[in-house]
Amino acid sequence: MNSPGEVTQRDRARGILIQNDELRITIWVKTWSQIINDCKARLRFFAEKLSYAPDRDSSLAHLKTTYHKYLADLFTVKAEAVEAAEALKAANDEEAAAVAD
């Protein structure tokens, strides 16, 4: 017997909620742990087969180019915040040097 919330139907893989061959649509029901495990498996495959090791900079570059329309403001605001923080640090360093003299 299935636990509440499980999707099983005769002649279908576990988790298929709707399958329409005419419209070429399949709707799966998965838990977050299944989704995360699937993604980890794909990442392992790419890492092993393609010798691909994603890093922070290349990941951010991909996000910026792929989703620029949605993330443009985010990166602009962050860049401005970084510039302001660097200017404040430089001013503090100058002030500390002046006090030390």
**Residues 29 and 66 placed together within one structural domain of the fold:** no
The number of domains in the chain is: 2
Predicted TM-score (pTM) of this structure: 0.39
Bridge partners of 16? Answer: 28
**Residues 46 and 59 placed together within one structural domain of the fold:** no
**Residues 70 and 83 placed together within one structural domain of the fold:** yes
Crossing angle of helices 56-66 and 68-100, in 10° steps, is: 130
d(CA 35, CA 48): 20
Domain limits for position 67? 55-101
Give percent above pLDDT 90 in the chain. Answer: 22
**Residues 46 and 73 placed together within one structural domain of the fold:** no
With 80 as the cut, is the pLDDT of residue 57 above it?
Answer: yes
**Confidence at 22, pLDDT banded by 50, 70, 90:** very high
Q: How far is CA 10 from CA 16, 22, 30, in A?
A: 11, 19, 18
